[in-house]
């Protein structure tokens, strides 16, 4: 089979390949990066985006690695768990938290393939100001994990931009690794067990529950559980084993990259800049305090593949050529970190429950299709998934159906959010710059809420659109919504 190979001498263990792999086939266990030949689909993303050239396709096909020899299950993982959660990201930890809050007596195990909780968190960690309200954080804990709050929303295009000011913060950037560690400690205090540096190689139904083959430090062993939650991100291998396969086609998978770097602009203003002129989706600037910001770009995987683009090169080009970014970042600005990753942008998956198991977060494509924001949905859906699992006495699909219904209840909102891609942002910016007082404080808030997971005020949204774009363009963009409203739906 034609799969990438890694030159250990050239490899810098930057883990760009781990983050960008859309099927989770590239993993780092201890200090070495390895490719799972059984999972690799030969898409070439890791080769294309390796900054040192350590990932290459060999001249001849390589043989699949032999199966690992199993050892006895470690004593502390013996017996049968009530629930095993695959993935200790924000979705997985929220699921475990929801289960234990509903039933403190549950035996819950969380498995994560990363070496430590929060390692290589690929999210830009920008989320809404009310997102953390869902979690049991005290005031000190919340302050420790929030890096910057925003009262300014910057909207830009290729050559123009504007800032919308609000009275109250609407968005914040998080220290996501710190948040995950806080939640992990809470879970351990509640009686959960967490195992890192461990990934689920396979899962099968057995004895009215599941048997997982877990691999840790190069050895494999079995773990038994009554219920299972897949929060493995875009990997979703466990879900595929259970028949809940979601095909990550290039046209429904987004990829993004960002630097954490010096930023001379306002720390209280976050920026979103559509970059259709580069043939991609959008760019962002999320300041994180102390003169730093997360500056990134994202687009559909298919767009990168069709043009033969490299993520880091596109990011560098954007920073060097966009006037606003160039003005606020010096050529020698410190670039403290680089990360990249894949995320689902297909809209909500429907096939998310099966007998005794469900999937949540990126594994279930639960990210906003307009901006790719997923932290809010990971927490909201994870907590509900955990509660649903805790209430499932028999583990039947019917018992897990409330979770599916809960997730699908906002499917229409996701579809209507996509209409935002059709807006004429240059015209909006021009209108706002010509008349900064054109919108009332309420209208400014409603305009920002277009991106937020709140009940949509479409009457006000359409009135704003008419002010900014005119009636004709409003009909072109939001005609389907206006028709639905006219019919009373």
Q: What is the 3-state secondary structure (H, E, C) of 88-146?
A: CCHHHHHHHHHHHHHCCCCCEEEECCCCCCCCCCCCCCEEECCHHHHCCCCHHHHHHHE
Contact (CB, 8 A) for 44 and 50:
no
Which has more confidence, 108 or 114?
Answer: 108
- 406's tokens: 């809960």
Nearest in space to 352 (alpha carbons), one of 389, 313, 310 = 389
Nearest in space to 86 (alpha carbons), one of 249, 228, 266, 265 = 228
Give the pLDDT score at 450: 80
Which has more confidence, 336 or 49?
Answer: 336
Label residue 341 by pLDDT band (50, 70, 90).
confident
Has residue 96 got a pLDDT over 80? yes
Once rounded to an integer, what is the mean pLDDT over residues 305-330? 87
CATH of domain 5-56: 3.30.70.20
Order across the sheet with 146-150: list the strands: 126-128, 171-174, 146-150
Label residue 471 by pLDDT band (50, 70, 90).
very high
Instruction: List the Cα angle 261/117/79 in 5-degree steps.
Output: 165
Has residue 224 got a pLDDT over 90? yes
Longest dimension (CA), the chain: 71
List pLDDT tens digits, range 349-387. 788 999 999 999 988 888 877 777 889 999 999 999 999
List pLDDT tens digits, range 120-156. 777 889 999 999 999 999 999 999 999 999 999 999 9
Contact (CB, 8 A) for 69 and 161:
no
- The residue with tokens 């994180």 is 288
Which CATH entry fits the domain spanning 75-121+177-246+347-413: 3.10.20.30, 3.50.50.60, 3.30.565.10, 1.10.10.10?
3.50.50.60
Looking at the chain, the whole-number percentage of residues with pLDDT higher than 70 is 91
- The residue with tokens 């970042």 is 329
- C-alpha dist (Å) from residue 313 to 44, 124, 182, 183, 263: 16, 19, 35, 36, 19
Label residue 472 by pLDDT band (50, 70, 90).
very high
Nearest in space to 125 (alpha carbons), one of 160, 177, 162, 80 = 177
Phi, psi (rounded to 5 degrees) for 20: -90, -20
Give the pLDDT score at 12: 63
Has residue 22 got a pLDDT over 70? no
- 153's tokens: 């929303």
Has residue 99 got a pLDDT over 70? yes
Give the pLDDT score at 234: 76
Taken in order 134, 82, 217, 49, the sign of the CA dihedral is negative
Rounded CA gap, 97 and 408, in Å? 22
Lowest pLDDT segment from 37-46, 418-427, 436-445, 472-481: 37-46
Has residue 29 got a pLDDT over 60? no
Q: What region, left, alpha or beta, does residue 316 occupy, with left being phi > 0 and alpha being psi -120 to 50 degrees?
A: alpha
Average pLDDT of the residues of the chain = 86
> Residue ranges of the domains in the chain?
5-56, 75-121+177-246+347-413, 147-170+250-344, 423-486
Rounded (10°) angle between helices 176-189 and 90-102: 30
Has residue 62 got a pLDDT over 60? no
Contact (CB, 8 A) for 17 and 3:
no
For the 147-170+250-344 domain, the top CATH level (class) is alpha beta
The length of the chain is: 489
């Amino acid at each position: 089979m034609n799969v990438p190979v890694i030159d250990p001498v050239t490899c810098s263990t930057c883990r760009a390949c781990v983050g960008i792999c859309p099927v989770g086939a590239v993993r780092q266990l201890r200090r070495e990066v390895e490719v799972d030949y059984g999972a690799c689909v030969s898409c070439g993303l890791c080769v294309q985006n390796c900054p040192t050239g350590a990932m290459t396709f060999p001249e001849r096909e390589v043989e699949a690695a032999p199966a690992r020899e199993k050892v006895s299950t470690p004593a502390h993982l013996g017996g049968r768990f009530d629930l095993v959660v695959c993935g200790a990201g924000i979705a997985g930890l929220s699921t475990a938290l929801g289960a234990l809050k509903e039933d403190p007596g549950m035996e819950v195990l969380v498995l994560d393939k990363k070496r430590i909780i929060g390692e290589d968190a690929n999210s830009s960690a920008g989320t809404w100001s009310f997102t953390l309200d869902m979690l049991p954080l005290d005031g000190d804990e919340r302050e420790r994990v929030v890096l910057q709050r925003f009262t300014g929303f910057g909207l830009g295009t290729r050559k123009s931009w504007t800032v919308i000011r609000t009275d109250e913060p609407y968005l914040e950037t998080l220290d996501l690794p710190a948040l995950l560690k806080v939640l992990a400690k809470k879970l351990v205090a509640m009686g959960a067990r967490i195992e890192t540096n461990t990934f689920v190689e396979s899962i099968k139904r057995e004895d009215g529950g599941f048997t997982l083959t877990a691999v840790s430090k190069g050895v494999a062993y079995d773990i038994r559980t009554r219920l299972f939650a897949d929060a493995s991100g875009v990997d979703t291998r466990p879900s595929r084993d259970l028949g809940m396969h979601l095909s990550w086609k290039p046209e429904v998978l987004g990829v993004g990259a960002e630097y954490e770097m010096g930023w001379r602009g306002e720390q209280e203003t976050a920026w979103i800049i559509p970059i259709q002129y580069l043939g991609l989706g959008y760019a962002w600037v999320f300041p994180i305090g102390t003169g730093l910001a997360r500056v990134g770009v994202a687009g559909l995987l298919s767009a990168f593949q069709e043009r033969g683009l490299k993520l880091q090169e596109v990011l560098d080009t954007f920073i060097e050529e966009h006037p606003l970014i160039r003005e606020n970042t010096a050529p020698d600005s410190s670039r403290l970190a680089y990360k990249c990753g894949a995320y689902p942008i297909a809209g909500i998956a429907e096939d998310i429950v099966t007998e005794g198991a469900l999937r949540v977060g990126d594994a279930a494509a639960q990210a906003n299709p307009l901006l790719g924001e997923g932290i809010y949905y990971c927490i909201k859906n994870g907590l509900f998934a955990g509660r649903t699992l805790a209430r499932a006495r028999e583990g039947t699909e019917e018992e897990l159906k409330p979770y599916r219904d809960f997730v699908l209840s906002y499917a229409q909102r996701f579809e209507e959010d996509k209409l935002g891609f059709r807006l004429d942002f240059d015209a909006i910016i021009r209108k706002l710059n010509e008349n900064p007082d054109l919108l009332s404080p309420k209208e400014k808030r409603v305009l920002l809420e277009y991106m937020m997971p709140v009940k949509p005020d479409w009457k006000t949204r359409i009135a704003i659109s008419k002010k900014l774009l005119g009636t004709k363009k409003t009909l072109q963009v939001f005609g389907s919504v206006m028709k639905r409203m006219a019919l009373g739906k």
